[in-house]
Protein backbone atom coordinates (compact mmCIF):
# COMPACT_ATOMS: atom_id res chain seq x y z
CA UNK A 1 0.00 0.00 0.00
CA UNK A 2 1.36 3.41 -0.95
CA UNK A 3 0.66 5.98 1.70
CA UNK A 4 -1.19 9.16 0.86
CA UNK A 5 -0.15 12.71 1.67
CA UNK A 6 -2.77 14.82 3.42
CA UNK A 7 -2.58 18.60 3.12
CA UNK A 8 -4.21 21.21 5.32
CA UNK A 9 -3.83 23.08 8.54
CA UNK A 10 -3.32 20.87 11.59
CA UNK A 11 -4.05 17.80 9.50
CA UNK A 12 -3.91 14.44 11.29
CA UNK A 13 -4.01 10.97 9.80
CA UNK A 14 -7.15 8.93 9.94
CA UNK A 15 -6.34 6.42 12.67
CA UNK A 16 -5.20 3.14 11.22
CA UNK A 17 -7.38 0.31 12.49
CA UNK A 18 -6.15 -3.20 13.26
CA UNK A 19 -8.27 -6.23 12.46
CA UNK A 20 -9.43 -6.19 16.07
CA UNK A 21 -10.96 -2.77 15.52
CA UNK A 22 -8.69 -1.11 18.10
CA UNK A 23 -6.51 1.80 17.18
CA UNK A 24 -2.94 0.91 16.30
CA UNK A 25 -1.80 4.10 17.98
CA UNK A 26 -2.72 3.34 21.59
CA UNK A 27 -3.23 0.30 23.83
CA UNK A 28 -5.22 0.12 27.06
CA UNK A 29 -3.70 -1.44 30.19
CA UNK A 30 -5.21 -2.17 33.61
CA UNK A 31 -3.67 -0.17 36.44
CA UNK A 32 -4.28 0.48 40.09
CA UNK A 33 -4.70 4.19 40.72
CA UNK A 34 -3.73 5.56 44.10
CA UNK A 35 -5.22 8.79 45.43
CA UNK A 36 -4.30 9.88 48.95
CA UNK A 37 -2.93 6.40 49.59
CA UNK A 38 -6.10 4.57 48.53
CA UNK A 39 -5.97 2.32 45.46
CA UNK A 40 -8.74 1.51 42.99
CA UNK A 41 -8.86 -0.38 39.71
CA UNK A 42 -8.65 1.58 36.50
CA UNK A 43 -7.16 1.61 33.03
CA UNK A 44 -4.74 3.78 31.11
CA UNK A 45 -4.05 4.31 27.41
CA UNK A 46 -0.42 4.21 26.30
CA UNK A 47 1.04 5.20 22.95
CA UNK A 48 2.16 2.22 20.90
CA UNK A 49 5.83 1.80 20.02
CA UNK A 50 6.17 -0.29 16.88
CA UNK A 51 9.38 -1.18 14.99
CA UNK A 52 9.34 -0.70 11.24
CA UNK A 53 12.19 -1.75 8.96
CA UNK A 54 13.37 0.45 6.11
CA UNK A 55 14.45 -1.10 2.82
CA UNK A 56 16.12 1.13 0.24
CA UNK A 57 16.47 -0.33 -3.25
CA UNK A 58 15.63 -3.77 -1.79
CA UNK A 59 18.45 -3.55 0.77
CA UNK A 60 17.64 -3.61 4.48
CA UNK A 61 18.93 -0.43 6.09
CA UNK A 62 17.61 -0.15 9.66
CA UNK A 63 14.63 -0.43 11.95
CA UNK A 64 13.07 2.49 13.78
CA UNK A 65 10.68 2.19 16.70
CA UNK A 66 7.90 4.67 16.09
CA UNK A 67 4.32 5.69 16.63
CA UNK A 68 2.98 3.90 13.51
CA UNK A 69 1.51 6.88 11.69
CA UNK A 70 2.89 9.02 8.85
CA UNK A 71 5.45 6.35 8.05
CA UNK A 72 6.21 7.64 4.56
CA UNK A 73 7.01 11.05 6.00
CA UNK A 74 9.11 9.54 8.80
CA UNK A 75 11.40 7.49 6.59
CA UNK A 76 11.57 10.11 3.86
CA UNK A 77 12.51 12.70 6.47
CA UNK A 78 15.13 10.35 7.85
CA UNK A 79 16.69 10.00 4.40
CA UNK A 80 16.63 13.78 3.93
CA UNK A 81 18.16 14.33 7.36
CA UNK A 82 20.91 11.84 6.53
CA UNK A 83 21.77 13.68 3.33
CA UNK A 84 20.66 10.83 1.07
CA UNK A 85 17.70 12.59 -0.56
CA UNK A 86 18.12 16.00 -2.16
CA UNK A 87 15.18 16.13 -4.57
CA UNK A 88 11.70 14.54 -4.45
CA UNK A 89 12.23 13.34 -8.04
CA UNK A 90 14.91 10.97 -6.70
CA UNK A 91 12.11 8.91 -5.11
CA UNK A 92 10.98 6.28 -7.63
CA UNK A 93 8.39 4.69 -5.35
CA UNK A 94 7.37 4.09 -1.74
CA UNK A 95 5.51 1.11 -0.30
CA UNK A 96 4.27 0.70 3.27
CA UNK A 97 3.47 -2.88 4.32
CA UNK A 98 1.81 -2.66 7.73
CA UNK A 99 1.35 -6.40 8.09
CA UNK A 100 5.08 -7.04 7.65
CA UNK A 101 6.06 -3.71 9.27
CA UNK A 102 8.20 -2.76 6.32
CA UNK A 103 8.69 0.53 4.48
CA UNK A 104 10.34 0.10 1.10
CA UNK A 105 11.64 3.11 -0.84
CA UNK A 106 13.21 2.95 -4.29
CA UNK A 107 15.69 5.74 -4.98
CA UNK A 108 17.70 7.02 -7.89
CA UNK A 109 20.67 8.50 -6.06
CA UNK A 110 24.46 8.13 -6.31
CA UNK A 111 26.01 5.23 -4.44
CA UNK A 112 28.14 7.49 -2.26
CA UNK A 113 24.98 8.94 -0.74
CA UNK A 114 23.53 5.49 -0.11
CA UNK A 115 26.69 4.49 1.74
CA UNK A 116 25.80 6.99 4.47
CA UNK A 117 22.88 4.89 5.71
CA UNK A 118 23.98 1.31 5.16
CA UNK A 119 24.22 -0.98 8.18
CA UNK A 120 22.76 1.51 10.62
CA UNK A 121 21.07 -1.19 12.69
CA UNK A 122 18.28 -0.28 15.10
CA UNK A 123 17.09 3.12 16.25
CA UNK A 124 14.92 3.08 19.32
CA UNK A 125 12.37 5.78 19.99
CA UNK A 126 14.38 6.87 23.01
CA UNK A 127 15.37 10.49 22.90
CA UNK A 128 19.08 9.70 23.14
CA UNK A 129 19.01 7.22 20.26
CA UNK A 130 19.72 8.17 16.70
CA UNK A 131 22.29 9.16 14.16
CA UNK A 132 24.02 12.52 14.37
CA UNK A 133 25.97 14.36 11.72
CA UNK A 134 29.21 16.07 12.63
CA UNK A 135 29.16 19.82 13.07
CA UNK A 136 30.75 20.21 9.64
CA UNK A 137 27.91 18.48 7.82
CA UNK A 138 25.36 20.68 9.59
CA UNK A 139 27.03 23.99 8.76
CA UNK A 140 25.43 25.66 5.77
CA UNK A 141 27.67 27.42 3.24
CA UNK A 142 27.69 31.21 3.03
CA UNK A 143 26.17 30.99 -0.47
CA UNK A 144 23.12 29.33 1.06
CA UNK A 145 22.23 32.27 3.30
CA UNK A 146 18.97 34.08 2.59
CA UNK A 147 17.67 37.41 3.90
CA UNK A 148 16.56 37.29 7.51
CA UNK A 149 12.91 36.59 8.11
CA UNK A 150 11.24 39.02 10.49
CA UNK A 151 9.15 37.29 13.16
CA UNK A 152 7.01 39.19 15.68
CA UNK A 153 7.63 37.83 19.18
CA UNK A 154 3.99 36.96 19.72
CA UNK A 155 4.07 34.66 16.65
CA UNK A 156 6.59 32.42 18.40
CA UNK A 157 4.32 32.18 21.44
CA UNK A 158 1.12 31.66 19.43
CA UNK A 159 2.51 28.90 17.22
CA UNK A 160 4.02 27.07 20.23
CA UNK A 161 0.76 27.31 22.16
CA UNK A 162 -1.07 25.74 19.20
CA UNK A 163 1.33 22.83 19.26
CA UNK A 164 0.85 22.44 23.01
CA UNK A 165 -2.94 22.37 22.59
CA UNK A 166 -2.91 19.93 19.67
CA UNK A 167 -5.48 17.17 20.24
CA UNK A 168 -3.52 14.18 19.06
CA UNK A 169 -2.42 10.92 20.65
CA UNK A 170 -0.77 12.93 23.44
CA UNK A 171 -4.18 14.04 24.69
CA UNK A 172 -5.02 10.39 25.33
CA UNK A 173 -1.69 8.85 26.29
CA UNK A 174 0.50 11.74 27.51
CA UNK A 175 3.31 9.75 25.90
CA UNK A 176 4.25 11.42 22.60
CA UNK A 177 6.21 14.36 21.28
CA UNK A 178 4.88 16.74 18.64
CA UNK A 179 6.63 18.77 15.99
CA UNK A 180 5.28 21.25 13.47
CA UNK A 181 6.16 23.47 10.55
CA UNK A 182 4.65 26.93 10.74
CA UNK A 183 4.37 30.09 8.71
CA UNK A 184 3.92 33.43 10.40
CA UNK A 185 0.14 33.04 10.18
CA UNK A 186 -0.46 29.36 11.04
CA UNK A 187 0.87 25.95 11.88
CA UNK A 188 0.79 24.18 8.54
CA UNK A 189 0.84 20.70 10.07
CA UNK A 190 1.52 19.11 13.46
CA UNK A 191 2.76 15.52 13.64
CA UNK A 192 3.50 13.21 16.58
CA UNK A 193 5.80 10.36 17.49
CA UNK A 194 7.12 8.49 20.50
CA UNK A 195 10.54 10.04 19.94
CA UNK A 196 11.10 13.76 19.48
CA UNK A 197 13.64 13.18 16.70
CA UNK A 198 11.18 10.96 14.83
CA UNK A 199 8.60 13.75 15.05
CA UNK A 200 11.07 16.18 13.48
CA UNK A 201 11.86 13.68 10.72
CA UNK A 202 8.13 13.41 9.98
CA UNK A 203 7.94 17.18 9.56
CA UNK A 204 11.02 17.21 7.33
CA UNK A 205 9.55 14.37 5.27
CA UNK A 206 6.18 16.10 4.98
CA UNK A 207 7.79 19.34 3.80
CA UNK A 208 10.04 17.50 1.37
CA UNK A 209 7.22 15.47 -0.18
CA UNK A 210 4.87 18.46 -0.41
CA UNK A 211 7.55 20.87 -1.64
CA UNK A 212 7.14 23.23 1.30
CA UNK A 213 10.17 25.52 1.30
CA UNK A 214 11.71 25.88 4.77
CA UNK A 215 13.61 29.16 4.36
CA UNK A 216 10.74 31.31 5.71
CA UNK A 217 9.21 28.72 8.05
CA UNK A 218 9.49 27.92 11.75
CA UNK A 219 10.24 24.42 13.03
CA UNK A 220 8.65 23.74 16.42
CA UNK A 221 9.09 20.82 18.79
CA UNK A 222 7.83 19.85 22.22
CA UNK A 223 11.09 18.05 22.95
CA UNK A 224 14.46 19.23 24.18
CA UNK A 225 16.69 20.61 21.41
CA UNK A 226 19.68 18.31 21.04
CA UNK A 227 22.60 18.27 18.63
CA UNK A 228 20.69 15.78 16.49
CA UNK A 229 17.65 18.06 16.34
CA UNK A 230 19.91 20.94 15.27
CA UNK A 231 21.51 18.73 12.62
CA UNK A 232 18.12 17.80 11.15
CA UNK A 233 16.84 21.39 11.20
CA UNK A 234 20.02 22.80 9.70
CA UNK A 235 20.39 20.20 6.96
CA UNK A 236 16.86 20.92 5.73
CA UNK A 237 17.61 24.67 5.94
CA UNK A 238 15.11 25.82 8.54
CA UNK A 239 16.22 29.23 9.84
CA UNK A 240 14.87 28.72 13.37
CA UNK A 241 13.82 25.92 15.69
CA UNK A 242 11.56 26.54 18.69
CA UNK A 243 10.97 24.36 21.75
CA UNK A 244 8.92 24.63 24.91
CA UNK A 245 11.83 22.83 26.62
CA UNK A 246 15.57 23.38 26.95
CA UNK A 247 18.60 22.84 24.71
CA UNK A 248 21.95 21.19 25.23
CA UNK A 249 25.21 23.15 25.11
CA UNK A 250 26.39 21.09 22.14
CA UNK A 251 23.18 21.91 20.29
CA UNK A 252 23.67 25.65 20.78
CA UNK A 253 27.33 25.47 19.73
CA UNK A 254 26.34 23.57 16.59
CA UNK A 255 23.48 25.99 15.88
CA UNK A 256 25.89 28.92 16.13
CA UNK A 257 28.15 27.43 13.48
CA UNK A 258 25.16 26.51 11.33
CA UNK A 259 23.61 30.00 11.65
CA UNK A 260 20.43 28.44 13.00
CA UNK A 261 18.48 30.48 15.55
CA UNK A 262 17.21 28.56 18.58
CA UNK A 263 14.33 29.40 20.91
CA UNK A 264 13.89 27.56 24.21
CA UNK A 265 11.26 27.56 26.97
CA UNK A 266 8.58 29.08 24.73
CA UNK A 267 5.82 29.12 27.33
CA UNK A 268 3.19 31.59 28.55
CA UNK A 269 4.37 34.39 26.30
CA UNK A 270 8.02 34.05 27.29
CA UNK A 271 11.02 32.48 25.57
CA UNK A 272 14.80 32.57 25.33
CA UNK A 273 16.41 33.38 21.96
CA UNK A 274 19.86 32.17 20.94
CA UNK A 275 20.44 34.60 18.07
CA UNK A 276 22.74 33.28 15.33
CA UNK A 277 21.74 35.69 12.59
CA UNK A 278 19.07 33.76 10.67
CA UNK A 279 15.99 35.67 11.85
CA UNK A 280 14.99 38.98 13.37
CA UNK A 281 12.60 38.70 16.31
CA UNK A 282 10.79 42.00 16.76
CA UNK A 283 8.40 43.25 19.46
CA UNK A 284 4.78 42.30 19.00
CA UNK A 285 2.66 44.99 17.36
CA UNK A 286 0.48 45.42 20.46
CA UNK A 287 3.62 46.20 22.47
CA UNK A 288 4.90 48.87 20.13
Nearest CA among 264, 81, 67, 101 for reference residue 177: 67
Give me the pLDDT at residue 7, please: 36
**Integer Cα distance of 57 and 19 in angstroms:** 30
Average pLDDT over the chain, rounded to whole? 83
88-137 confidence digits (pLDDT tens): 999 999 999 999 999 999 999 999 998 888 755 545 444 444 444 344 44
Give me the pLDDT at residue 132, please: 45
65-83 confidence digits (pLDDT tens): 999 999 999 999 999 998 8
Nearest CA among 191, 192, 160 for reference residue 267: 160
- pLDDT at 9 exceeding the cut of 70: no
Domain boundaries, the chain: 142-287
**Integer Cα distance of 34 and 39 in angstroms:** 4
Give me the pLDDT at residue 286, please: 62
Q: Which residue has the higher pLDDT, 223 or 5?
A: 223
Give me the pLDDT at residue 261, please: 96
Give me the pLDDT at residue 87, please: 95
Give me the pLDDT at residue 136, please: 45
Give me the pLDDT at residue 6, please: 36
Give me the pLDDT at residue 162, please: 95
The domain 142-287 having CATH identifier 3.40.140.10: the answer here is yes
Question: What does the chain come to in residues?
Answer: 288
Give me the pLDDT at residue 27, please: 81
**Integer Cα distance of 261 and 185 in angstroms:** 19
Q: What is the DSSP string of 19-84?
A: TTSSBSSEEEEEEEEEETTEEEEEEEEEE--EEEEEEETTEEEEEEEE-SSSHHHHHHHHHHHTT-
Q: How many CB atoms lie within 10 A of CB 216?
A: 15
Give me the pLDDT at residue 203, please: 97
178-204 confidence digits (pLDDT tens): 999 999 999 999 999 998 999 999 999
Lowest mean pLDDT among 43-47, 109-113, 282-286: 282-286
Query: Distance of CA 101 to CAs 18, 52, 206, 260, Å?
Result: 13, 5, 20, 35
Res. 140 pLDDT band, cuts 50 70 90:
low
DSSP-derived secondary structure letter, 143: G
227-261 confidence digits (pLDDT tens): 989 999 999 999 999 999 999 999 999 999 999 99
Amino acid sequence: MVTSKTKGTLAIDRVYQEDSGKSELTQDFPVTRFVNGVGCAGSISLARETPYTLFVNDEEILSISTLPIRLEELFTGFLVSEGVLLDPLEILGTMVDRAARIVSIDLDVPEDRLERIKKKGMLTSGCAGGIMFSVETSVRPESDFLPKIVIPADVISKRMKEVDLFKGVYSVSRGTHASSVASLSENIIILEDIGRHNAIDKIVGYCFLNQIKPHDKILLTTGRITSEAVSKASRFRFPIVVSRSSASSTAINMASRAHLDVVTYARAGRFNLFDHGATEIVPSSENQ
